Chain A
Amino acid sequence: AQSVTQLDSHVSVSEGTPVLLRCNYSSSYSPSLFWYVQHPNKGLQLLLKYTSAATLVKGINGFEAEFKKSETSFHLTKPSAHMSDAAEYFCVVSGGGNKLVFGAGTILRVKS
Chain B
Amino acid sequence: AAGVIQSPRHLIKEKRETATLKCYPIPRHDTVYWYQQGPGQDPQFLISFYEKMQSDKGSIPDRFSAQQFSDYHSELNMSSLELGDSALYFCASSLKADQETQYFGPGTRLLVL
Contacts and interface: CB of A to CB of B under 8 A. Distances in A.
Contacts of B35: 100
Contacts of B92: 44
B104 interface: yes
A101 B35 CA distance: 10
Interface string A70-112: 0000000000000000000010001101111111110000000
Contacts of B105: 43
A40 to B, nearest CB: 12
Contacts of A49: 100-101
Contact of A97 (B44, B55, B94): B55
A100 B45 contact: yes
B54 to A, nearest CB: 11
Contacts of B42: 90, 102-105
B103 A102 contact: no
Nearest to A33: B100
Size band of the interface chain B makes with A: 20 to 34
A65 B76 CA distance: 34
B99 A98 contact: yes
A74 to B, nearest CB: 14
Q: Classify chain A: how many residues form its interface, as a range.
A: 20 to 34
Contacts of A51: 100
A98 B48 contact: yes
A102 B100 contact: no
Contacts of B72: none
A32 B43 contact: no
Contact of A42 (B4, B44, B50, B106): B106
18 contacts: A32-B100, A43-B4, A43-B106, A43-B107, A46-B104, A49-B101, A51-B100, A90-B43, A94-B100, A95-B45, A98-B33, A98-B56, A98-B94, A98-B100, A100-B35, A100-B45, A102-B42, A102-B43
Interface of A: 32, 34, 36, 42-46, 49, 51, 90, 94-95, 97-105
9 smallest beta-carbon distances between A and B, as pairs: A102-B42, A99-B45, A44-B104, A98-B99, A43-B106, A97-B56, A94-B100, A32-B100, A43-B104
